[in-house]
Structure 1
């Protein structure tokens, strides 16, 4: 029996994955990294900015001396200013009778601000689990394992809604049934196939379809 639903934030509740792709791609271009939005979406959606920058440092695309403590807050700030809901999110959340939490690679204060802007804070009652609370972000399962521990629920009692390959890899590594959400504006052709390859249990196209799926629990 499903007792709790764990929602990713970006790309599921708020439509910021495309904003993040635009902002970070522009910044990387300014640092002489040759990358476009489509490549960023394909290779980096769902990963933390810290992980993305460290990956590019290891590749030699960014200076190893780049100060993450300066760059990441600037990127976060620009994206926060452009947060917007995904169509149908209010109706979907209002339809639920099951307890729910947010499990995100984004910073906790970022998620809190997003929920406040969307006026959906009350749906989660402070239950926000962020990658900054664990050693590694998604695709590592740590943040999902933390949520299970804090919520005192078993794997069989949880359902996850994720939009990224990194998120699905993390949730499945934690042993959780996972729904792949395809309603974000960053989703491109073939993304559903990528989520299926990552192990997702089912796919939904938008919040109307997600509402119908979740009504069975």
Structure 2
């Protein structure tokens, strides 16, 4: 197998945003009347598109969300980002070492991606190579976003490797017929492996994994 393209998820893989986003979501869900713990938020929402998350929240509420919900959640989340967001440990050095093409394929919106990548100094590394689930019909665990990224980058799926940290993301990569490495810093390694990922625990391991293909 020739690896011509490495496709990175963003949240939890490039930027350490997952804990902050999920703290904000836990806060706002409890505020609107959904009693839920941080751990339950992780289990229910991580890796899913925002539109899918909204559907789940409305199902739990049994009523439509207020028109201000998305904006309110974004304001809380971005405030935390501005205060605490950092790149995932070691990822900057890893990006410097990868000799093939790279891109991002994320469940986040372009606005969120631009914000998090700018705050962490990673945005210039992915100029014109950032793909959002808003560009495709279906979010993860469907393969649409990864197939779209590969097509836009001019590569066949079999020559792509995906770096993911969520179960829906791993399932999406497998469905796209791409090899996938599952970053297990904050996700159960056994579940990542069961979903189809080759599991690793530190970004320092990634160059060796890519070279082993």
Tell me if TM exceeds 0.5. Answer: yes
Equivalences, count: 208
Across the aligned residues of Structure 1 and Structure 2, the Cα RMSD in angstroms comes to: 1.7
CA contact (8 A) 2:10 2:106 kept: yes
8 Å Cα contact 2:147-2:157 kept in structure 1:
no
In the alignment, what sits opposite 2:125?
123
Return the alpha-carbon distance in structure 1 between the equivalents of residues 193 and 145 of structure 2. Answer: 21
1:76 aligns with 2:74: yes
Q: Residue deviations 1:128-155, cap 9 Å, x none?
A: 1101111222112111111122112111
Aligned counterpart for 1:214 among listed residues 203, 210, 213: 210
1:36 deviates by 0.3
1:95-120, Cα deviation, whole Å (9 max, x unpaired) = 11111000000011221222222222
Name the CA shift for 1:171/1:77 in 2 (closer, same or farther; >3 Å). Answer: farther
Partners of 1:163 and 1:52 lie apart in 2 by 18
CA separation in 2, counterparts of 1:140 and 1:73?
27
Spell out structure 1 runs of 4+ moving beyond 4 A.
none
Alpha-carbon distance in 2 for matches of 1:215, 1:124: 22
The match for 1:111 is: 113
Q: Give the TM-score normalised by structure 1.
A: 0.89
Structure 2 vs 1, CA of residues 154 and 56 (structure 1 numbering), >3 Å: closer, same or farther? same
- Normalised by the length of structure 2, the TM-score is 0.90
